Structure 1
Amino acid sequence: MSNTARPALSDRATKLLELLTRCAAEGRAAPSNADLTAFLQLDRANTVPRIMQRLEERGLIVVERYSCSRIVTIVATGQRTAGVPGTPHWMDANRAARAEKKPKSDPAPVVRSPVIRSQPHAVSVDRDPCPRCGVRGDIGCRHSRAALRLASVPVFRHFSEVARG
């Protein structure tokens, strides 16, 4: 037999649920995160949304989020906090579209097709000797382009001397 009983709510979650129930019964708007942080005497403001999310996951409340406000429905009583529905919160606006794009927990393995390569060919390196002088171009033939790029002209020679060779 499995134990389906959930652990009891934390003190903070119980206080938050009681406050939201009171606000809904009195017809007041749901308090802001800053107000709830002060009420629960928390150090960090991001703790309140986490507690509300846990209450929502347990099915105790339903939260409709809007750009600057939220409406909280208490599931046990069916009462709602006051508020005017406005522009949907950006997280809720496309929730259905994002749910379809979520990655699957066990995606199908990607099978890559093998690459068929032709016979390897030798890398062409111009190491043949020059037909004019018999010296390879990569080590100093004056007739090949590689040698021309590497050739330097001494500064003391005049252009006319260089042009003659």
Structure 2
Amino acid sequence: MEIQLTLNGRPLHAQIEPDTLLIDFVREHGCLSVKRGCETSNCGLCTVLLDDRPVLSCSVLAARAAGHRVQTLEGLQQEAEDFVGFIADQGAEQCGFCNPGFVMNTIALLRENPDPTDDEIRAYLAGNLCRCSGYEGQLRGIRAYLTARGAARRQED
């Protein structure tokens, strides 16, 4: 079957099998930040944005993305650069395997809620499995980023 979608801002026409998963489709098109982890929709490693909403690409058929916008970390590098250093500074980037999923969900969170509480951050990131850090480093990194962003905005005013 033929599908048309926009992948990281680029229109794309492709032939796929009806049972092709979105994770396989985006990886076949060079988006290797999207990782295969649990294959049961429990770890968050395969998170992509589908029309700006985070979805687990291991549980979405590529055909469902037809006519929509799909974004991966490859297409959001500039937006991600703003806060990934804050996460790394907190030691939350130990092995790096879970980072793309955390980054994708953090981008979605901050687009939806530019000033979340700690509980809102925890709730939004709850679907991301991290075996190294215990999640507090990610929370501290996001909080540090929000604090720095707020201070920069106050200086501009």
Calculate the TM-score normalised by the size of structure 2. Answer: 0.23
Greater helix fraction, Structure 1 or Structure 2: 2
Larger Rg: 1
Greater strand fraction, Structure 1 or Structure 2: 2
Q: Which has the higher contact order (CA 8 A, sep 6+)?
A: 2
